[in-house]
Amino acid sequence: MVLLKNDGVLPLAAAHGRTVAVIGELARTPAFQAGGAPVSPTRVDVPLEELTTALAPATVRFAAGYTLGGAARSQAELTQEAVQAAAGADVAVVFLGLPPGAETEGFDRTCIDLPAAQTGLLAGLARAVPDTPLVAVLCNGAAVATIWDHHASAVLECWLAGQAMGAAVADVLTGLISPSGRLAETIPVRLADCPSYLNFPGEEGHVRYGEGVFVGYRGYDAADLPVAYPFGHGLTYTSFSYRDLRIAQAGSADAGDLTITVHCVVGNTGSRSGREVVQVYVGDPAAAVARPPQELKGFAKISLEPGAEQEVTIGLTARDLSYWSAAHRRWVLEPGEFRIAVGASSRNIRLAQTIVVAGSPPALPLTASSTLTEWLADPAGGPALRAAFGTGPDGTPGGILSSDELVRALGAFPLPVLAVFGVGITPEQVNELLAAMPAPPGESGLGSTPRPDADISG
């Protein structure tokens, strides 16, 4: 379970004279599994019953507030009953979620909204009983939009918590257990913000995963989009401090034994024991390829008593700094600056530091598709290409290399294409250059036998 929001109303106190309103059919008819492939539970804990027991000797009132289908009752009547139950209560716990059949393995949802009857109920309660704090308890298998959460003083995301969810919810709401779950996905402000929105569900039986490496929080961060609740977010009933970030390097990228160790000190600054998830994000701000602003590369979960501190150590390797290169057909670590950030979520960074990782720059393998710019930048291909172009009578570079403007204008052209244009090098010379270059990883050597598609002499 993930405590998304808490303005101080949680945990609930059980005492004589207190009244708690429990509202929502899902409190009486729990949603603990999705449709499609249901299992038969040995028993099911009912949240309403468990809360009534856990909150004793407080008085618990119940109102259904909405139906889950089938029963034909007026929503206005149900809302009025809920208002009457919440009126004068110390707090109202409102169960919201997706009804049976709304989500299953067998089909995709077309929206991420809660049923209008439920969000309308919450808004109606906020208007009718403004002095009664509202606690929203969510029962759903996948993320739902939370544009209604300004009406609630607290929001507990339970997901589909299984047959014992009733007692588990009661334990968390009453503080017997402090919530310590963290979001494994971003909850967006709206469906249209999702990185896959323009490509999903596709058409004619084909789906293109167009977001590429910018899936999930990586896409929201790259587009600098606001989110409802970020990846890694989760509250508990205490607070934590972060200090003294230290980062140590050992080994080297070139030797293949690079290790990076991240240290920081985390303290429990609240009055209750709790668990914190310390998260390490890595960013490559000057990458040669498209990369997310930051990526989660390590985390540690720690338990702390009030006032206690603990040094947290999280190790990283070269793989955590690398990207998958389609050209090299392997993971590549690009030397240079990396930002190491430590925080409580992807949008709650507490400490950050820039490190410099040394190593040999990865050189792209030169093929028949390589551009003029790539050839000139290659440590082996550059000198070989300049030699092939030769020099003019005055010692200046030959062909198009004599003009910096032409090199910039034609730099994106593959070398074999330029050779056909007659720019100072022949197709035969290009074939000779290709034959002399090392083979790309995973291919047989070009050597003296170029691939058929590398021969452009016609």
Residue 326: pLDDT band with limits 50, 70, 90: confident
3-state secondary structure at position 455 = coil
Element (H, E) at 54: helix 47-54
Which backbone phi and psi does 3 adopt, to 5 degrees? -80, 105
At residue 137's C-alpha, the angle toward residues 274 and 47, to 5°, is 95
Residue 456 has pLDDT above 60, yes or no: no
Q: What is the DSSP string of 187-232?
A: EESSGGGSTTTTTSS-BTTB---TTTT--THHHHHHTT--EEE-TT
Q: Which of 155-159, 287-291, 351-355 has the lowest mean pLDDT?
A: 287-291
pLDDT of residue 336: 96
Q: Which residue has the tokens 């716990």?
A: 93
Q: What is the pLDDT of residues 61-70, one digit of tens each?
A: 999 999 997 6
Average model confidence (pLDDT) across the chain = 92
Name the 3-class secondary structure at 125: helix
Examine the pLDDT at 315 and tell me if it is beyond 70.
yes
Q: Average pLDDT of 44-58?
A: 97
From the CA atom positions of the chain, what is the Rg in Å?
30
Which helix (H) or strand (E) segment holds residue 283: the answer is strand 274-283
**CA-based nearest residue to 385, from 419, 412, 422:** 419
Q: Does position 354 have pLDDT exceeding 50, yes or no?
A: yes
Q: Which residue has the higher pLDDT, 247 or 31?
A: 247
Dihedral sign, Cα of residue 394, residue 398, residue 401, residue 403 = positive
Chain centroid, CA 203 distance in Å: 26
Q: Are 145 and 114 in contact (CB under 8 A)?
A: yes
Asked whether residue 445 carries a pLDDT value surpassing 50, the answer given is no
Q: Smallest Cα–Cα separation from 95: which of 56, 53, 50, 128?
A: 50
Percentage of residues of the chain with pLDDT beyond 70: 95
pLDDT at 277: 98
Write down the residue that tokens 């209750």 correspond to: 272
Model confidence at 449, in pLDDT bands (50, 70, 90)? very low
Query: What average pLDDT does range 309-331 have in this prediction?
Result: 94
**pLDDT score, position 107:** 84
Residue 91 has pLDDT above 90, yes or no: yes
Which amino acid, 327? A
**Phi, psi (5° rounding) for residue 82?**
-65, -40
Chosen CATH of 240-357 out of 1.20.1250.20, 1.20.58.2240, 3.50.50.60, 2.60.40.10: 2.60.40.10
Find, among 62, 66, 60, 61, the residue nearest to 25 by Cα. Answer: 66
The pLDDT confidence band at residue 71, using thresholds 50, 70 and 90, is: low
> Does residue 93 contact residue 158 with C-beta atoms inside 8 Å?
no
Q: State yes or no: pLDDT of 457 exceeds 80.
A: no
The model's pLDDT over 234-268, given as tens digits with 9 standing for 90+, comes to 999 999 999 999 999 999 999 999 999 999 999 99
Domain boundaries, the chain: 2-177, 240-357, 372-454
- Span 424-445, mean pLDDT? 75
In the predicted structure, residue 340 carries a pLDDT above the cut 90: yes
The token pair that represents 208 in the structure block: 């293109």
Which H/E stretch holds residue 262? strand 259-268
Q: What is the spatial distance between Cα 381 and Cα 74, in angstroms, rounded to a whole number?
A: 77
- Pick 2-177's CATH classification: 3.40.50.1700, 2.70.98.70, 3.40.50.1010, 3.40.50.850: 3.40.50.1700
The answer, yes or no, to whether residue 452 has pLDDT greater than 70, is: no
DSSP secondary structure of 344-355 = EETTEEEEEEEE
- 250 phi, psi to nearest 5 deg: -145, 155
pLDDT of residue 439: 65
**In this predicted model, what pLDDT tens digit does every residue of 210-240 receive, in sequence order?**
999 999 999 999 999 999 999 999 999 999 9
